[in-house]
């Protein structure tokens, strides 16, 4: 994975915004890009003048994510489960993964898209099950855009602030990814439980 990330980092460094757009698109169709490494590095490139603006970096990264997720959604919507079962292995997305995501969708609804924007690997293939479920595009793009904006914006701004130490952000996130995802899910579960109880009291 680290070798792949280094390759994609070089693409961003060499081709600038176009490279970043392509890399983020690939990251969202299952390619092993390592967005949590690329984004802080892109922020650092903006801070050192190799890229003109950290805000443009964020905009391009989000655009790439939306493009990749749109491709995944189209694959799920128009290719269906047979297509995913046959070709999903090339994006490291097996039938067992699809079953897990289906259960997650059943529990959280379209909000699952937002949650999974912060879970490594899963964030890159969420468009496929969303397409399979024929999720309304308005819901799909709203949660994808919001989650991507927070994810990309946070990493780019941290990378811009840290400069040459930006790669530490991605490495730390990757090391504690499961813990971070677990804490986020527990926090969300508590939020919904409290909200449901409050709603019942007002009825």
Q: For residue 181, how many C-alpha atoms fall within 13 Å in the half-sphere facing its CB?
A: 17
Parse the chain into domains and list their residue ranges: 2-176
pLDDT score at 69 = 94
More confident residue, 174 or 78: 78
Euclidean distance between the first and the last CA atom of the chain, given in angstroms as a whole number = 52
CA 86 to chain centre: 24
Rounded to two decimals, the pTM is: 0.75
**Is residue 17 pLDDT above 70, yes or no?**
yes
Over the stretch 162-203, which tens digit does the pLDDT of each residue have?
765 555 555 555 555 555 555 555 656 665 666 666 666 665
User: 41 in helix, strand or coil?
Assistant: helix
Over the stretch 105-147, which tens digit does the pLDDT of each residue have?
777 777 888 888 887 777 888 888 888 888 899 999 999 999 9
pLDDT score at 121 = 72
């Amino acid at each position: 994975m680290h070798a792949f990330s280094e390759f994609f980092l070089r693409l961003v460094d060499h081709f600038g915004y176009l490279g970043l757009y392509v890399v983020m698109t690939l990251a969202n169709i299952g390619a092993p890009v390592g967005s949590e490494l690329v984004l802080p590095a892109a922020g650092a490139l903006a801070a050192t003048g190799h890229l003109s603006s950290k805000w443009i970096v964020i905009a391009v990264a989000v655009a790439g994510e939306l493009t990749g997720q749109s491709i995944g959604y189209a694959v799920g919507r128009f290719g269906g489960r047979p297509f995913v079962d046959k070709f999903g292995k090339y994006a490291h997305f097996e039938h067992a993964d699809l079953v897990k995501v289906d259960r997650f969708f059943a529990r959280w609804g379209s909000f699952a898209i937002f949650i999974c924007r912060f879970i490594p690997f899963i964030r890159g293939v969420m468009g496929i099950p969303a397409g399979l479920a024929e999720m309304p595009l308005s819901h799909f793009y709203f949660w994808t855009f919001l989650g991507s904006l927070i994810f990309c914006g946070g990493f780019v701004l941290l990378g811009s602030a840290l400069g040459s130490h930006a790669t530490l952000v991605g490495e730390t996130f990757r090391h504690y990814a499961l813990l971070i995802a677990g804490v986020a899910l527990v926090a969300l579960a508590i939020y919904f439980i409290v909200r449901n109880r409050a709603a019942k009291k007002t009825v």
